[in-house]
Chains A and B, each alone.
Chain A
Amino acid sequence: MLRIACPYCGLRDEVEFRFGGPAHVARPGFEVDDATWADYLFVRENPAGLNFERWCHAYGCGSWFNLVRNTLTHEILLAYRMDSPKPALRT
């Protein structure tokens, strides 16, 4: 069971959160072609390793934030606020 550090509330259990898919995905404008739009809607990096992802503290403060988590080990490296820029991590 994951324990996730909400940037506002601190370390809480997985059940208080909802997963929100990949972070830092730019929403394209209306004018893009079908393939680009489908790419935005459906394609995922799905890395085996460090993943930048969104979470919502749904049963807590309700805030959305970003997490850097290793999808192989579930180790959480970093939690940062939604309005923070994407951190550059030394791998």
Chain B
Amino acid sequence: MRRGPFRIPAGGTLDRSRTVRFKFDARPYSGFAGDTLASALLGNAVRRVARSFKYHRPRGVFSSGIEEPNALLQLHRGARSIASERATMVELKEGLEAYPQSGWPSVRWDAARVFDLTAPLWAAGFYNKAFIWPSWHVYESLVRRMAGLGRAPDGADPDYYDVRNLHCDVLVVGGGVAGISAGIAAGGAGARVLLVEQQSALGGQCAWDGAAIAGRSALSWLDTAVERLRQLPDVKVLTRTMAVGHYDHGVVSLVQRGDDGAEAPRETLYVVRTGKLILATGAIEQPLVFCNNDRPGIMLAGAAREYVRRYAVAPGRQVLVATNNNSAYATARDLKDAGVEVIGIADSRADPSAELDLDLRSLGIPVFSGFIPIDTAGFGGLRAVTIGKLSQDGLAVASRKEFACDALAVSGGWNPTLHLHSQGGGNLVYSELTGALEAAAVRSTTVGLVGSAAGINRIDEVVRHAGATAAALAATTASTGAVATGLQEPAQKTLTGAVASFGLRISPVGNTARKWVDLLHDVTVADLELAVRENFVSVEHVKRLTTAGMAADQGKTSTVLTLENIARLRGLRPADLGHTTFRPPFTPVTLGSIAAGDVGEYFAPRRHLPTHAWHAQRGAVFQDFGEWLRPVAYLRGAESRAQAATRETHAVRAAAGVFDGSPLGKIEVHGPDALEFLNKFYINDLSTLKPQRVRYVMMLRESGAIFDDGTVVMLAPDHFLVTTTSGQAARVTEWLEEWHQCEWPQLNVAIVPITDQWATFSLTGPRAREILATFETNIDLSNSAFPHSCLRVGHLAGIAARVYRVSFSGELTYEINVASTHAQTFMDALMSIGICPEIAPFGLDALLAMRLEKGFLHIGTDTDGTTVPDDVGWGAVAARKQQDFIGRRSLVLPENLRADRLQMVGLASLKDEDLQPGSHVRLPDSVEATDGWVTSAARGTLDGRPIGLAMLRAGRRRLGTELSVHDMGRVTAARVVALPFFDSTGARMNA
């Protein structure tokens, strides 16, 4: 195992006593506890970690943070694999396996480099201009295989994710000096504070950059500050937590990485509702643009500094620093102090000494003022850099110098990280002073910016400003108080992290096709030129044509440079180009962390019948009906489902069976105006309702389409029972409430849904009365005392019951409602009656077959969202009603009065073949593509004939007509027959 020559022997915040072994590209390496994957790779002198997206050029680690555009690696294999993991964000763990995502045969030697050699062919938009002939299909497979970075895992995610909800007064995003200061101030002002930090510990940069705060070491300040946070009564700190989305009304989403314990969720989504938001999110360094600015060994200067100070890793043996601002000088000094050879600092500003507050000579590093990198060399990695002296106007290069070096640390200025601000509606404006997109006037007075996100970099000022901002924010109510963002800060002269002024950051010379702007999508300045040349001039068009800024790094190190280039090409100022708006997520987050556990059994709840176990014991085959799990048939022995349904139907027709109808919607409507209220909903005139007489009713939407059917029965003038179909139970309840509360609040009614409180059992068959009569009951069950379409309230075997005589099966039926808590007791009582062969439970298959034979309407099967009452034979009832009801007016719209509407009819197959629901039918003289469809089908229970119901164009006029029936290219025939198929007098039901 190699340690690598770039590991600095001393320094850093690593725990060198703990070695961590890992693999990259199947080779073993080691690092230390505290390394990231990126720092460990650099420490092992691994320079080529990827090949670029289009041209397959070698790439190395470019940054030390979330903005990393090159080192996107595949971690692990199998179901736990992760694509495009940023090596800079991965905490090194024992046994980690990382793989490059591109390069064949290897990342160090890629045959596809040929695309680099033929680069002009693959300029922006090339795929629009070719692959047309003969068709895109010919080329598509190959292109799809070349696209994509990394692979999706090959199995279901074995880890789990969770969601937590939090409320706070102040959410502070960022746990560096600024964030901690803000948290202390807000917490000290009595606010409930949530402070989130994406790294595993608080401190941010001050944990390693050796700064001094208020006269003492940053580490000492940090210890005190963290302790202060801990002592505050209502401050909660979450580490390993990144804020990713800022939504309406103060909702912010966070994703927390779990510790790698087996029991913990891999990631946790926190949905935070906050009153105020403070962004201490820092700034992201931007690169310089020059020819061949993408080679391995070129990295951001701030990252180089972090690698040296924090990870004790040198970016190379001979390092050149190139900058347009002050901040890179600290990098040069720290590299030199660590023993790395620093060749010099190329500063594109003509006279940087005026900006710095130190004597350049004391640095001991040569400074090349007015110089900018203009080219680099090194086919497999950086070997040499050429810098050029800028002319007075910055448009040309007067003289050049070339240096052999293997690392180039670049700084093109810092861009405050304001994504969350923008997501929340805050405008960003390009600043000519700093070359950054900064916050314009804060849109909402509930967002504060502190630290370098606010453009404040002097550390003591950061502490003061963050504290003042947070205290002010915590104290204000939501509607008052503007918040300082630091935009009025005067130019600062400081060494560390300051951007007092900035010079040129784009080299004026050289082939623009070799100047990279977006590293991840391989977009060059030439691509931007081509876009503008072709009249894709708006920023959005440029982005879409070139794909600049649309890669997984979301343009974090390319957006401002893209804007500057477009502006330059169009002869405009960047500020004239319009708004840049960011949308969530701030950085890509896993789908798992968004779903956050709402998968599998948690995706949708299941509803079980009150006697579910009883059904299961009897061989019930359950199916999903909405959320309900309901038996379709009960299997005995080696029966098929169809055989079971046939057996059940015969058993019911011959003797008796019991059906569990508990999901049936049940609603009580109370109040003196209950009748008037209910009468507004149904096509039936309820004013003629007699007590305890059950009326079959139909309800419409205001468009006239059938919404639901069911029953209404009056128990007392101010007490009604309503039933609905199982599927619409909740919706009908909501419907009644909506109209009551919004349209007719003057009606005195109370609507009480009781679907879950009552279980329903339909005792069905010719022997049903006989069986029921064996119960001890106070209900007179004789047909004269208790005829069909009646309700009786009483008790059965000591259990309070409401018993309906209604029938969906067409057989003598007692629909018995008992309290759900007594459902099993009742069922046991029913099953223990021994006067006839065991009362067979029957399922939906049998019930629906029986109801089909009777031609009874099944809402949702025979009807859809366009069916009106007349289509299914209920037009006369609706027309008779004098009072207004919902949907009444629509029934007389021209379309609903057409003679050729689809109407419900019965079908008898002319062959001995089952009719297939979903088949379409055609009339013999038809000119249309289709004249309707089969809505349901069954075999006749007693004669086994294949029958069905259908919606047929002008069906009621077509009795006796032969139709062709079409299903998936097979054609059969059926005849239109009268309904019902069975027991047309209803004798069995009325017995």
Contact = CB atoms under 8 A, between A and B. Distances in A.
A and B found bound together? yes
B745 A56 contact: no
A6 to B, nearest CB: 13
B889 A30 contact: yes
A70 B477 CA distance: 21
Contact of B893 (A37, A56, A63, A64): A37
B451 to A, nearest CB: 28
Contacts of B893: 34, 37-38
Residue among A2, A64, A83 with the highest chain B CB neighbour number at 10 A: A64
Contacts, number: 51
B425 interface: yes
Interface in B238-257: 247-251
A1 B745 contact: no
A64 B742 contact: yes
A2 B888 contact: no
A56 B740 CA distance: 13
Contacts of B888: 30
A3 B738 contact: no
B251 A1 contact: yes
Residue among B247, B425, B737, B742 with the highest chain A CB neighbour number at 10 A: B742
A21 to B, nearest CB: 10
Contacts of B249: 1-3, 74, 76
Interface string A3-30: 1000000000100001010000001111
A41 interface: yes
A58 to B, nearest CB: 7
Contacts of B248: 1-3, 74
Nearest to B702: A41
Given A74-B248, A82-B742, A41 B703 contact: yes
B924 interface: no
A1 B248 CA distance: 5
A49 interface: no
A62 B737 contact: yes
Contacts of A20: 738, 742
Contacts of B250: 3
Given A1-B247, A73-B425, A82 B890 contact: no
Given A29-B884, A30-B884, A64 B247 contact: no
B770 interface: no
B742 A54 contact: yes
A13 B250 CA distance: 11
A3 B251 contact: yes
A64 B702 contact: no
B742 A34 contact: no
Residue among B250, B703, B738, B894 with the highest chain A CB neighbour number at 10 A: B738
Contacts of A27: 743
Interface string A34-73: 1001100100000000000010101000111000000001
Contacts of A54: 742
B889 A37 contact: yes
Nearest to B741: A64
Interface in B179-232: none
Interface in B729-747: 734, 737-738, 741-743, 745
A19 to B, nearest CB: 12
B253 to A, nearest CB: 9
A89 interface: no
Contacts of B389: none
30 contacts: A1-B247, A1-B249, A1-B251, A1-B271, A2-B248, A2-B249, A13-B273, A20-B738, A20-B742, A28-B889, A29-B884, A30-B884, A30-B889, A32-B889, A34-B894, A37-B890, A37-B893, A38-B893, A54-B742, A56-B734, A56-B737, A56-B738, A64-B737, A64-B738, A64-B742, A74-B248, A74-B249, A76-B249, A82-B741, A82-B742
Given A37-B893, A62-B737, A63-B741, 18 more contacts: A1-B247, A1-B248, A1-B271, A3-B249, A3-B273, A20-B742, A29-B884, A30-B888, A32-B889, A34-B893, A37-B890, A41-B890, A54-B742, A56-B737, A64-B741, A73-B425, A74-B248, A82-B742
Interface of B: 247-251, 271, 273, 425, 702-703, 734, 737-738, 741-743, 745, 884, 888-890, 893-894
Chain A to chain B: the 5 pairs with minimum beta-carbon distance, closest first: A3-B249, A64-B741, A1-B251, A74-B248, A1-B247
